[in-house]
Structure 1
């Protein structure tokens, strides 16, 4: 399921936003080493005091004085070959905004892949945009892209982590329209949403102008040639020169919000029960203040996060570790890249219902820093293990905070420090650590991180997971690891070496996470382990006009043991990936894994002699394609052996996930994902079949986009899990477990902060004691927020 909803999307973001790991250079005050080829392509940006009306019409007088740039190079998947289509960009600024226009010609405008949709949902469309690094230190850049209907897609790419964060939303302006010769786009990006060194001097910002042209294959068209032997695309960009009068202005934004809801629930096992109602009206306010061009303060009081879009459905059957969900809340997403490191140490979905929060982020020369603090009315965190993990919840308020600092010593060396805190009445978790990245040359670099934690648990935390009898408790590992009478400390270390050149990729890594190490503000589900891993890959490229563009053959190995060197897992796989016609991407993986099951005796954490070892041989085939401009489809199939964890045996897995996205019209989109997972194991009772469970998950999203600002969306997530109680000998199971969650929401968004929501959601459940799905919860809600910027 997760692969269908995310992996192909992340692959595309990586191509468009250069989410490859990039080499580094000093902060903007220092001299940046720009390749000679890029220097010759530097762009001098004109300045004019007038303004431009963003309406898709390029007749404004100011455009006549703009710099024109031809995007005539295909730098992916082709190797800097001439573009088959004409694209012209115009760029000019007025001290408050940088204006960009694109004239994207198309020989057959009917084949343009562009549709109306919500923000950040149209990365697969025809899009044009700009990538901008205002600090010019080749470590972080903003991405602003627009499709032919003016739908905005934006992101921030962090070179240190090699990740593009498309969840970030800036407030900027755009308009797009299809013409008889293709389409054209206007953009206005206010300097108030950028971080840069504000002064009255001429500035140099790394820049690239990009067009993504999806037809038989997806062509990445630019004005910049890129060296395949250097994975750092950001490092190869030329500079935009000018911006002498660039000012961020007052850069103050206040967003008051009012939320009203009526939540209802009832006892579905009592036919006579009535609905219990809880009506609530809440008011809150968010503040974002750009103290200067490099420093931002965010604050929130009584925020309401209940009206975000429903999370994608995930199957949890036969999984022993807690699931991951993306953050969607604006307060946490703004400048979240400042808190990234090698481990996921700041997972803000742990902060469930904060009363208030404050965050300060900034950059000065070669120094960058971020810090935040929140008060949460709940206390939730992951209780980790080496064979399983689950969520712990305390009925008490808590404070959470994080501090992150990074120093960019020179082009090749960056070092950082991070600290996090979770604290309530009789519980705390403190974490501190150092990390760094050293680039040997364009293709080789090291990363390292060392962490230490100190934790204190409440005396009765183990009751969160089990009663007095641990022997039959499925969460016994979490109960045992929570039985700590005093403060306890431990460490974690992670080391990586990476090679990425034109034809070869390689990675060698080692990590060691102590059994008493905790990162309760992060998403670290595993402790008490040491892992060594290695991978190698070879790329192949085709000639222009071939049926395929790029292929990769790779292999991966890792071994995992606990701190006492007790065996947990050994894994070996080989992958073959290839890009073909109709935007066809195929990934075939063969894997061999030796793993242990769950413990026989739950009352101890020993693995040797306390677990059985199994061998899993699997084949996984993942295919995605766009056979028609209005259809996107993918299939993810896994066949082979799979451990039946709770019955401690090896089973036969058949899992199939399919996804179809159909743009019925330019306004109406239907997105359907279905996952079928079936596990069979030998049933020693000949009267009954071998089925252990059959799980179906269907996730349907139907949205009608009236225009770029408003939409109506229906979300349905249905899970149907049937278990064979006659072939689950070691656990008591419900034969039937069905759940249906639905949400209907109307949204009107002037920008990401000025919004109106009106919605309804409910949840229905069915098990062996209920003949039909019974609705147990329903909620009516509305929210209005207005972003005021003086």
Structure 2
């Protein structure tokens, strides 16, 4: 046994050594190119010392975006912006009088939330519909994504671009080069874009912005620095990503290990740009396994199945196009997703197109053939064709109107959903949104067709102190979506949100808000009303600290009964040092058990705690605890107790390579899931993953946890970009 473990460790160390060497060699062979501007050479080294920067406009009148608007920040920031036919260049100089406290992490891509960082936002159509986001920390680590009209960030977008950073005794500097062929834009003699810059100073909880944002002038996407660029060089993106995956799984049956699955898969994905604003993506026989398992969620005593986030790259990119309007007001939303691609379980192929037609028209579409959409009574999977189409036309300010369609078709059933949505800005502080969708469905082994509808209407008012949202939702009893996510139908709801903020003149409390969110709803199946009313206080402080408390009077209709689910809650988060962050919340109150025949009342506690430690620049540990119990009121007996403990330990060798271990213990199911991943990512699509997983279950007679399933996989792909 000892020799076997020693052999495995030796093999693992050889793999680690090889990939460390590979990352260094790759970095040397494919070093970021020096970027040329029309008038001078820029060496992308994170040192802003080229004359060409100083010969252009400097943007330095930053004001705070958070915790309050329009305040002079504690530190100075200067930004330089240039372009040529191939690249957009941005340089930041960030002064910091406490440079030793700059928060930075050597981490994987898209993981900079707790760091000091800078970002550039590019609205390439100057239409206030969507902006690209490019963010960098003081070590040069990248984060990219998109920002929608509600300024919500989506980090699923991944592009090829370049960054470098340096730190000195008075702050840090960053240089960025973004290729035009990583962006979508109109091919005209000159293009007009909207630009904004941000900086985060973590220890003071400040987010700075240029140009200054005024909350009574509408969306942040409407308040940009307008810049005109000369026509970029005509380039068409063409990417081919061949991939190879080996996976083996073994399970234990009656004390003996059996190999139940072992296969080699070859796949190919690609991207082709018909023009700078029309992109086609395709994939065949893809490996759609994601490299990090879903975080465990409670799956007992829930009314609807949990919603797990999408992690597969093909479906992630461009998801913002499928968001619908008129779905923001309220805390519990019953038509949250028109498209939930996690419903596409095991596609053989997929195709996607997204493009701009003229200055105002945008079209997005997805088609995928799923080989394991539904298990028939004979145990064989039923295949399905998924079809998704989305059209949007830009209107005045940040408004638009759009059409949407989703469909799932199988031999034995179908589901189609179609409708329209839109947004109209009344003035700088007010807007309205709406959606109306209709569905037609034939369920498996049922020849009857059912038709339903869902509509929503929202009004929103926002200024510096006050945020108000009012709305109405109506989801009919026969409305269904098999491509989206619908936790509950047959409900008429009137949601409302309210927040009023104070900005005390103290160094300890930066912002305090009185918050209400709730709804009055009617269950159409039984003609009874329920309500949700959370009233609380939120307090924002330095050191990225936040605290809340409040109470909720809540009732819910279930099985033709009106039951009480009222509770109080408290929680918060803080990062007092760059090596430590803590987040926790707790609910305590009344609950009931979702028994369809005889639901019964009870008491419950729900607690979550997350502790993040970064003892070294390259090492991080995240430990989480989730706990929930339920005690029946009538006899004071414990119905269930649910605990999940999870730890994720990551050692980041460099920006390309990390080793990660995850351990998750589920006390309710008496299971322990252990996994190890070695991940090398040079750029988008060029990756090597080596992973191992081990599932253990408790042996009741021996009171020990024994392995019941082993899994091992290797995945490699290479991005050939032409």
TM-score under structure 1 length normalisation = 0.82
- Output one character per residue of 1:404-463: Cα deviation in whole Å (capped at 9) or x when no partner: 00112333642110001101111111111011111111111111111111111221xxxx
1:570 to 527, 531, 546: 531
1:705-744 equivalences in 2 (<5 Å): 705-721=652-668, 737-744=669-676
Aligned to 2:3: none
Partner of 1:430: 416
Matches within 5 A, 1:222-233: 222-233=209-220
Distance 2:257 2:462 in 1: 63
**Superposition deviation, residue 682 in structure 1:** 4.0
Secondary structure of the residue aligned to 2:565 is strand
Asked whether the equivalents of residues 244 and 717 of structure 2 are also in contact (C-alpha less than 8 Å), the reply is: yes
- What do residues 665-720 of structure 1 show as CA deviations (whole Å, max 9, x unaligned)? 00000011111212222464xxxx73222211112110001111110011112110
Decide whether the 8 Å contact of 2:469 with 2:498 is kept in 1: yes
Of 135, 139, 142, which residue of structure 2 is paired with 1:145?
135
Q: Does 1:315 align with 2:298?
A: yes
Q: Which residue of 2 aligns with 1:195?
A: 184
Other structure's SS at 1:178 match:
strand
Does residue 557 of the first structure (1) align with residue 489 of the second (2)?
no
Between structures 1 and 2, the one with greater strand share: 2
Report the equivalent of 1:404: 390
Shift of 1:302: 0.7
Residues 148-297 of structure 1 aligned to structure 2 (within 5 Å): 148-159=138-149, 163-201=152-190, 203-215=191-203, 217-241=204-228, 243-247=229-233, 249-267=235-253, 270-271=254-255, 273-297=256-280
Distance 1:626-1:747 versus aligned 2 partners, 3 A rule: same
Which secondary structure state, in structure 2, belongs to the residue aligned with residue 117 of structure 1? coil
2:112 aligns with 122
How far 1:61 sits from its partner (Å)?
5.8
In structure 2, C-alpha distance between the alignment counterparts of 1:354 and 1:536, rounded to whole Å: 43
Q: Which moved more, 1:136-145 or 1:88-97?
A: 88-97
Larger displacement relative to structure 2 (548-557 or 254-263): 548-557
For the 8 Å contact 1:71–1:210, the answer to whether it is kept is no
2:550 aligns with 589
3-state SS of paired residue (1:115): coil
Residue 497 (str. 1) matches residue 459 (str. 2): yes
Q: Residue 664 of structure 1: SS of its match in structure 2?
A: strand
With structure 2 as the length reference, what TM-score do the two structures score?
Answer: 0.89
Secondary structure of the equivalent of 1:741? strand
> Structure 1 residues 528 and 279 mapped into 2: Cα distance closer, same or farther (>3 Å)?
same
Measure, in 1, the Cα distance between the counterparts of 2:151 and 2:117. Answer: 22
Matched residue, 1:774: 706
Asked whether the 8 Å contact 2:250–2:257 carries over to 1, the reply is no
Q: Give the conservation status (yes or no) of the 8 Å contact 1:173–1:189.
A: yes
Are positions 1:641 and 2:590 aligned together? yes
**Aligned-residue offset at 1:79:** 3.4
Is the contact between residue 218 and residue 427 of structure 2 (CA under 8 Å) also seen in structure 1?
Answer: no
Q: RMSD of aligned C-alpha atoms?
A: 2.1
The 3 A distance-change label for structure 1 pair 330 and 553 is same
- 1:581 Cα deviation from its structure 2 partner: 3.3
In 2, the alpha carbon distance for the partners of 1:60 and 1:413 equals: 41
Q: CA separation of 1:100/1:645 partners in 2, compared to 1, >3 Å: closer, same or farther?
A: same
The separation in 1 between residues aligned to 2:699 and 2:530, in whole angstroms, is 35
Answer yes or no: is the 8 Å Cα contact 2:278–2:356 preserved in 1: yes
564-573 vs 314-323, greater mean Cα deviation: 564-573
1:481-518 CA-partner distances (Å, limit 9, x unpaired): xxx43222111111111111222221221111111111
SS of match in other structure, 1:120? coil
Pick the aligned partner of 2:349 from 350, 356, 359.
356
The CA deviation string for residues 260-293 of structure 1, in whole angstroms up to 9 with x for no partner, is 11121232xx22x332242211111111112111
Q: Distance in 2 between matches of 1:497 and 1:304?
A: 43
Change beyond 3 A, Cα 1:368–1:78: same
Kept in 1, the 8 Å contact 2:246–2:714? The answer is yes
Give the structure 1 partner of residue 576 of structure 2: 627
Alpha-carbon distance between aligned partners in 1 of 2:75 and 2:85, rounded to the nearest angstrom? 33
Alignment gaps of 5+ in structure 2: 1-35, 326-335
Q: 1:694 to 1:327 in 2, by over 3 A?
A: same
SS in 1 for 2:478: coil
Which whole-Å deviations, capped at 9, do the CAs of 1:202-225 have from their partners, x for residues lacking one? x2211111111111x311223322
| Corresponding residue to 1:696 among 636, 643, 655 | 643
Q: Which residue of 2 aligns with 1:40?
A: none
Give the corresponding residue for 1:655. 606
- Alpha carbons 1:621, 1:637 under 8 Å: kept: yes
The residue matched to 2:315 in structure 1 has which SS?
helix
CA deviations over 1:459-478 (Å, ceiling 9, x no partner): 1xxxxxxxxxxxxxxxxxxx
Maintained 8 Å contact 2:290/2:312: no
Alpha-carbon distance in 1 for matches of 2:380, 2:472: 34
Q: Number of matched residues?
A: 671
Give the Cα separation in 2 of the matches to 1:222 and 1:50: 28
SS in 2 for 1:82: coil
Instruction: Check whether the contact 1:50–1:62 (CA below 8 A) recurs between aligned residues.
Output: yes
Q: Distance in 2 between matches of 1:660 and 1:742?
A: 19
